[in-house]
A and B are shown apart, each in its own frame.
Chain A
């Protein structure tokens, strides 16, 4: 019967596929409802902020909205010579409104970013424009300050015309687009971000390496010790994990400062002279030490969970087959722990690359990372769009690492527990 219609039917005569779909529909709805709260949570707390961050980082509408008439008038201006009277008039009218609304300060700041010295010129204009007479605004404005005769300043205004810009991203890697619209590097003494990026990657890399070197033996011990001792060791590993991050960082400050316990010990053992105590804090050393200790559990736990599954008889088999303990370790045991190593390294690296509190407290000037720079722009300069741009660059970097890792090792091979 079923072969005649080409479809398999259930005993009631409904096509099997349809019947199955209906039977599974309920389960699908149930499954969706179960994940719905998480999905909603992720969208609200993660997707939307990231979207907002992105739009902020490229948003440049502020100036565009402040000078609507000017930009309309500038549409036909080629930017080679001074603009026409039309543009001067439009700018005067726009600026007049801004001064009246007491929002001229923002424009002054923004245009000063674009061209140094713009602020004072604009301030002077704000004072003088009250006495302007109607007509021939070009002459009147140029009379206020000679810089208004410089076409460079007008070009600076024109550059801010588009409502979107990638200049924040360029700034993040110490580049900018100059007056001619070419992308060039900033002068050498102002290249700070690239150093920070390199330092961030470097610190994250070495912290990951140190964590790996320290966590591997610990995890191995944890996985092989009898339950009685391994539980105790596990608590020792997790205890710092349960302590507040701030407390741990503060305790490192106590240990590492120049009159601190570690330095006292070095002096006592005679390793260093009392008047020549090494600086272990407020530099990269402090960042390395504190971050390694803080991130260690993130390496130990995935390694441990993988090592726990490796049967001890495999090492025995290796030895009974004639391999020395070293060979058996590198040929048998080590390759089997790679999923754990991958998971641990990925976790620690990604955490380290965006680390903030510890470098801020013990890093000093030479030990701060890109996240500290982001925080600085968030809190001090209030350049949120630049902070957003750098945050997104960091996120892109992390995703890139994840992608490379997936290509090399395969994310399916990760074992977190």
Chain B
């Protein structure tokens, strides 16, 4: 059985609430069957609206959404067969955990025996075997979250939507739940569309991430590509840490370009610049710039250490480099430590490949 590449398909979808502002602009998005796709973006970027359109609680102003090649805009939510995990769990407070899970099965008129079997299975999947008779109010946040996940999965939906489900949990619990959800996804192979504004969460869990900003998908790619090869300065800013230089392209040839800054010049990788004279923002990941590089690197600069912050596993060093006093380095704390002291001048080097010349901010 081959997996459909466009199991869920947004086709030129626009959405406006007031007829004046487009919340979602010309959204085209294909989601493969069994894939874990995350919609990531700052609040107000349109990601939750997209999810609500898929769930059926909002209708697209223009365009069509297809589920398994069927247009679904005119299908009411309860007939779409899409499971959903809500931000605040939305467990029914007057029902026990068992009744909560049995709810989607009961409305589908399953036999009592099947219901019990399925609920048991779903509860053991989220390791809440003995909690069937508890009320949601008696559970901790993490347990409620698991019940919500189990409830969204118990009726074997084709697609499960998750709307910032881990937002209310504390950091440690959030991390362990991320792995748990990821494992559940891997073991049952359901298609998951996940919405979050937490990039760490997105990077950990997803097969692919769609970065939303301003109602548009800025980039749709796998987590590593998104981090290593952002296609524009918004994505570079939004995902991970980032050192930037604003400048102007002075020379462009053979897959490299020279960017003239206010003070000095750097060699960069032209991603979205085409011609000389264009304004650009050069983005370098903190871990790609090295102190006293042994190998030959085509960018070598001197910087002055302005701040040193100890982080346990690594040390953050803030430098003043080429007029940018916010240049951050991440230095692993190994035994052969370098001479990092406040006020020292050090040599910094990086490959032009890692300095991506993107659109100007």
**Which A residues form the contact surface with B (CB < 8 A)?**
311, 313-314, 316-325, 327-328, 331-332, 335-336
**Which B residues form the contact surface with A (CB < 8 A)?**
55-57, 76-84, 86-88, 90-94, 103-104, 107-108, 151-152, 155, 161
- Choice from A313, A318, A328, A332 contacting B88 with Cβ under 8 Å: A313
Are A324 and B94 in contact, with the CB atoms below 8 A?
no
Given contacts A321-B107, A335-B94, A336-B93, contact A316 B86 (CB under 8 A): yes
Are B78 and A325 in contact, with the CB atoms below 8 A?
yes
Given contacts A314-B90, A316-B86, contact A323 B107 (CB under 8 A): yes
Whole-angstrom CA separation of A350 from B83 in the bound complex: 45
Given contacts A331-B103, A332-B92, A335-B94, contact A322 B86 (CB under 8 A): no
Are A318 and B103 in contact, with the CB atoms below 8 A?
yes
Residues of A within 8 A of B151 (CB): 321
List 26 contacting pairs A-B, 8 Å CB cutoff, sorted by A.
A311-B88, A311-B90, A314-B92, A316-B57, A316-B77, A317-B90, A319-B76, A319-B78, A320-B82, A320-B152, A320-B161, A321-B83, A321-B151, A322-B79, A322-B81, A322-B104, A323-B78, A323-B104, A323-B107, A325-B76, A325-B78, A328-B78, A331-B103, A335-B94, A336-B93, A336-B94
Other A-B contacts than A321-B152, A323-B103, 8 sampled, CB-CB below 8 A, are: A313-B86, A313-B88, A316-B90, A318-B103, A320-B78, A320-B83, A325-B78, A327-B107
Given contacts A336-B93, A336-B94, contact A317 B86 (CB under 8 A): yes
Are A322 and B93 in contact, with the CB atoms below 8 A?
no
B3 to chain A, nearest CB (A): 24
Whole-angstrom CA separation of A243 from B7 in the bound complex: 61
Whole-angstrom CA separation of A321 from B76 in the bound complex: 12
Residues of B within 8 A of A322 (CB): 78-79, 81, 104, 107-108, 155
| Closest chain A residue to B163, Cβ basis | A313
Whole-angstrom CA separation of A311 from B81 in the bound complex: 22
10 pairs of A and B residues whose beta carbons are closest in the complex:
A321-B104, A317-B90, A320-B84, A313-B90, A319-B77, A323-B107, A313-B86, A319-B78, A322-B107, A335-B94
Are B84 and A317 in contact, with the CB atoms below 8 A?
yes
Whole-angstrom CA separation of A109 from B107 in the bound complex: 72
B57, B93, B107 interface centre (most CB from chain A within 10 Å): B107
Residues of B within 8 A of A335 (CB): 94
Whole-angstrom CA separation of A311 from B89 in the bound complex: 10
A309 to chain B, nearest CB (A): 10
Are B78 and A313 in contact, with the CB atoms below 8 A?
no
Residues of B within 8 A of A311 (CB): 88, 90
B57 to chain A, nearest CB (A): 6
Whole-angstrom CA separation of A240 from B88 in the bound complex: 38
| Closest chain B residue to A310, Cβ basis | B93
| Closest chain A residue to B104, Cβ basis | A321
Residues of B within 8 A of A313 (CB): 86-88, 90
Whole-angstrom CA separation of A325 from B78 in the bound complex: 8
| Closest chain B residue to A315, Cβ basis | B90
| Closest chain B residue to A320, Cβ basis | B84
Residues of B within 8 A of A319 (CB): 56-57, 76-78
Whole-angstrom CA separation of A314 from B93 in the bound complex: 9
Residues of B within 8 A of A324 (CB): 78, 107
Whole-angstrom CA separation of A319 from B56 in the bound complex: 9
Residues of A within 8 A of B78 (CB): 319-325, 328
Are B103 and A320 in contact, with the CB atoms below 8 A?
no
A152 to chain B, nearest CB (A): 66
A42 to chain B, nearest CB (A): 35
Whole-angstrom CA separation of A328 from B79 in the bound complex: 13
B351 to chain A, nearest CB (A): 48
Whole-angstrom CA separation of A245 from B106 in the bound complex: 49
A332 to chain B, nearest CB (A): 6
B91 to chain A, nearest CB (A): 8
Whole-angstrom CA separation of A274 from B88 in the bound complex: 60
Whole-angstrom CA separation of A327 from B79 in the bound complex: 13
Residues of A within 8 A of B76 (CB): 319, 325
Residues of A within 8 A of B108 (CB): 322
Whole-angstrom CA separation of A297 from B155 in the bound complex: 42
Whole-angstrom CA separation of A314 from B95 in the bound complex: 12
Residues of A within 8 A of B92 (CB): 314, 317-318, 332
B153 to chain A, nearest CB (A): 11
B225 to chain A, nearest CB (A): 32
| Closest chain B residue to A332, Cβ basis | B92
Residues of B within 8 A of A332 (CB): 92
B285 to chain A, nearest CB (A): 38
| Closest chain B residue to A323, Cβ basis | B107
Residues of A within 8 A of B103 (CB): 318, 321, 323, 331
Given contacts A322-B78, A322-B104, A336-B93, contact A316 B155 (CB under 8 A): no
Are A316 and B107 in contact, with the CB atoms below 8 A?
no
Residues of A within 8 A of B84 (CB): 316-317, 320
Whole-angstrom CA separation of A322 from B55 in the bound complex: 11
| Closest chain B residue to A321, Cβ basis | B104
B75 to chain A, nearest CB (A): 12
Residues of A within 8 A of B104 (CB): 321-323
Are A320 and B77 in contact, with the CB atoms below 8 A?
yes
Whole-angstrom CA separation of A331 from B151 in the bound complex: 16
| Closest chain A residue to B161, Cβ basis | A320
Residues of A within 8 A of B83 (CB): 320-321
Whole-angstrom CA separation of A327 from B77 in the bound complex: 13
Whole-angstrom CA separation of A316 from B152 in the bound complex: 12
A320, A328, A336 interface centre (most CB from chain B within 10 Å): A320
Whole-angstrom CA separation of A317 from B94 in the bound complex: 14
Whole-angstrom CA separation of A25 from B163 in the bound complex: 51
Whole-angstrom CA separation of A311 from B78 in the bound complex: 18
B24 to chain A, nearest CB (A): 19
A317, A318, A336 interface centre (most CB from chain B within 10 Å): A317
B81 to chain A, nearest CB (A): 7
A79 to chain B, nearest CB (A): 65
B80 to chain A, nearest CB (A): 8
Residues of B within 8 A of A328 (CB): 78
Residues of B within 8 A of A336 (CB): 93-94
Residues of A within 8 A of B79 (CB): 322
